[in-house]
């Protein structure tokens, strides 16, 4: 099987490519945000945040932006390191998922389903607390990805299907593995 082949069809499905690119892109975004946050907190956090907000054309005294600035500026170092570690872990998981599914690895499908489903309660809780079209869109996208992958896994013979062919032995009772 070549690097670009999926175990059942001989090539990587387009859905896998789209999901893989999305997963790698979210990893790059999370890592970029973590690096930016780390650099931001090396000096005066509040002044840096205000410069950043003004630089993108927002008013730091805005009723939405101001509370966010205050909250970010008050983070302690230990809290910051916790946030950075979480962002790095999230990015690492997304890279592994993206590369695995882009390479057509079956375990990548399982990993994406398990990690996405395990994060759904957190996403729903965030939507209930803060709402917003971006959070709702992210939830819808993750649900669509899970539905697509679960559907594929169901059509391809269930969860424990091996990529090797299995045939019955001579007695008809014990399976033996036959390489494709």
Looking at per-residue pLDDT, the higher value among 62 and 174 belongs to 62
Do 147 and 161 touch, CB atoms closer than 8 A?
A: no
Length of the chain: 180
The confidence score (pLDDT) of residue 144 equals 94
Which sign does the torsion angle of CA 67, 71, 73, 74 carry? positive
Q: pTM of the full predicted structure?
A: 0.67
Question: By the 8 A CB rule, do 49 and 73 touch?
Answer: yes
Angle separating helix axes 106-130 and 77-102, nearest 10 degrees: 140
For residue range 95-134, what is the model confidence (pLDDT) as tens digits? Answer: 999 999 999 898 999 999 999 999 899 889 888 988 888 8
| Residue ranges of domains in the chain | 12-104, 107-159
Express as a percent the part of the chain with pLDDT over 90.
37
- 145-179 burial, b if ≥16 CB within 10 A, otherwise e? bbebbeebbeeeeeeeeeeeeeeeeeeeeeeeeee
- Mean pLDDT on 59-72: 78
Q: What are phi and psi of 89, to 5 degrees?
A: -65, -45
Long-range contacts (CB closer than 8 Å, 24 or more residues apart) made by 122-130: none
pLDDT band at 16; cut points 50, 70, 90: very high
Query: Which of the pair, 7 or 26, is modelled with greater confidence?
Result: 26
């Amino acid at each position: 099987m070549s690097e670009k082949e999926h175990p059942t069809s001989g090539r990587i499905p387009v859905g896998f490519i789209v999901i893989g690119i999305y997963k790698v892109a979210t990893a790059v975004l999370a890592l970029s945000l973590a690096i930016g946050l780390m650099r931001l907190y090396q000096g005066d956090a509040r002044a840096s945040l205000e410069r950043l907000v003004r630089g993108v054309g927002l008013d730091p005294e805005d009723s939405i932006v101001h509370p966010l600035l205050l909250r970010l500026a008050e983070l302690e170092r230990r809290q910051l390191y916790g946030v950075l570690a979480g962002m790095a872990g999230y990015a690492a998981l997304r890279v592994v998922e993206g590369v695995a599914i882009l390479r057509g690895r079956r375990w990548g499908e399982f990993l994406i389903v398990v990690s996405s489903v395990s994060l759904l309660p957190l996403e729903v809780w965030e939507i209930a607390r803060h709402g917003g079209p971006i959070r709702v869109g992210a939830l819808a996208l993750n649900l669509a990805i899970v539905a697509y992958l679960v559907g594929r896994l169901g059509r391809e013979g269930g969860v424990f299907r091996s990529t090797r062919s299995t045939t019955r032995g001579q007695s008809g009772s014990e399976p033996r593995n036959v390489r494709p």
